[in-house]
Structure 1
């Protein structure tokens, strides 16, 4: 079952126009929501970010927050997904190919659900990562469909027997190919501040709130490769990865090569949150 504009349709009933600007230019935005126990997690934060992304690239948001929220709830119910993800994208719409943004164009909305298991094994054991210069555009705060640099970075990690790529700009750590990153040093949590160089991750915000409530010191400031390599703990946050420890970076072991104490505590707090 898919949501296509205002209709709930079976997959075979949905036909995407060859003139959709999302196809030509990646001219659109998207969100990925987590579904726990048949309920959408942090819906409001995701939808507010989606609305902001639309505004930043001048796409008219086609619904009110309440209207799109209601449609997504119906989609989950109709899809019978208990544990998984919900993908939602809005493209600028259908028009003859032109770099100039057409006037009076109607956005195209597409959403669907998938059964996706939580990455419990990776969350328990940790993953390997590599580093790479961040040469993407300077509006990483917009969750747009232009994900080729992220895709290539993720594939580069796989090619090096790793599972995530950590980006840096002139040595300053920004984020990862598909997640935000945090480090722990002397009991303090460090992460890049929210600006145009990173996506303001929903899970990132949830984790920082949990950490603050638990009394962990937090520093939202730039840190570099040297600090990354000296970190006591490193972990990533994201809708699909939740809180996943990194135990190796560029084939160098992080600390003792095991997920750290603070990472474990945050995982426990997150678990309590999503099951409450």
Structure 2
């Protein structure tokens, strides 16, 4: 089956979908994106993703390509046309096509607007069942990680460094504390049962799954501490895990060759994953 993608107002087979070589997303990474999970043909946490898209566009002064209702309709049409039951919808907005110049093009330059789908085989993965092994790397990214831009080269390099070490992913470390993972927010569970994660700011992405997870944790009566932690604190923690639209809630069982807890996914991470998925599926659009 040929995948159908959306490019600037038209649904096209992926082999026919093209953007200009002068698009600023290609030339400058002058673009933002969102990823929405799909389960049972429905969109998970969509309002949150749409709200974060609005914030990213505003922070970069990017024009909006469509209303929220129009964006929802495009998502649903792509899910339908691709018969997508389980996977993701990727969305990207760039500043559009213009001659290569560091100065932004005229304000009335139409943005480029691209969406495509990607399938996944199962909700329950090897990583969810066995847990992730992570390596720490210095956080050398730019200072506005709260804007979900397509500037993903360094996270990609960090993940490849982790793979070279035989690990699944990397956690970034800045000024002695963990910021986040290459494509996820990071957490530990202390020995008294508290969930600890870095507070929101310019130094981490404001995860939509993070927000939903912390709400679920509160409803379960779990204590949440929003403050930084070190690699050493994480290695000595009761449990560790990550969240994202792709990982949902996934345990971390090893950090820099040191087992977390007993080296197996812990009960709190498993409980949070199950509770989050229950709520997310029930509220899916």
- Which residue of the partner structure matches residue 266 of structure 2? 260
Q: 2:168 aligns with which of 136, 154, 163?
A: 163
SS in 1 for 2:18: coil
Report the Cα distance in structure 1 between the residues aligned to 2:231 and 2:84, rounded to whole angstroms: 40
- Which residue of the partner structure matches residue 151 of structure 1? 156
Q: 2:52 aligns with which of 49, 53, 57?
A: 49
Cα shift at 1:131: 0.6
Cα deviation digits, residues 124-167 of structure 1 (max 9, x gap)? 11110001111111100011011111110111110111111011
Q: Does 1:36 align with 2:39?
A: yes
SS in 2 for 1:66: helix
- Which residue of the partner structure matches residue 234 of structure 2? 228
Q: Runs of 4 or more off by more than 3 Å in structure 1?
A: none
Cα deviation digits, residues 179-237 of structure 1 (max 9, x gap)? 11110002000000011000011111111111000000001112222321221100011
SS in 2 for 1:157: helix
Report the Cα distance in structure 1 between the residues aligned to 2:200 and 2:131, rounded to whole angstroms: 25
- Which residue of the partner structure matches residue 208 of structure 1? 214
Where structure 1 has 5 or more consecutive residues not aligned to the other structure, the ranges are none
Q: 2:38, 2:44 within 8 Å by CA — same for their partners in 1?
A: yes
Q: 1:133, 1:170 within 8 Å by CA — same for their partners in 2?
A: no
Q: 2:118 aligns with which of 111, 114, 118?
A: 114
Report the Cα distance in structure 2 between the residues aligned to 1:222 and 1:122, rounded to whole angstroms: 25
- Which residue of the partner structure matches residue 189 of structure 2? 184
Q: Does 1:139 align with 2:144?
A: yes
Q: 2:27 aligns with which of 15, 24, 42?
A: 24
Q: Does 1:196 align with 2:202?
A: yes
Where structure 2 has 5 or more consecutive residues not aligned to the other structure, the ranges are none
Say how many residue pairs are matched.
276
Q: 2:44, 2:281 within 8 Å by CA — same for their partners in 1?
A: no
SS in 1 for 2:135: strand
TM-score (norm 2): 0.94
SS in 1 for 2:205: coil
Report the Cα distance in structure 2 between the residues aligned to 1:128 and 1:15, rounded to whole angstroms: 38
Report the Cα distance in structure 1 between the residues aligned to 2:237 and 2:110, rounded to whole angstroms: 48
Report the Cα distance in structure 1 between the residues aligned to 2:124 and 2:23, rounded to whole angstroms: 34
Cα shift at 1:67: 1.5
- Which residue of the partner structure matches residue 12 of structure 2? 9
* Larger CA deviation: 2-11 vs 113-122: 113-122
Cα deviation digits, residues 67-106 of structure 1 (max 9, x gap)? 1111211111111101011111011100010000011211
Cα shift at 1:270: 2.0
CA RMSD between the two structures: 1.1
SS in 2 for 1:102: coil
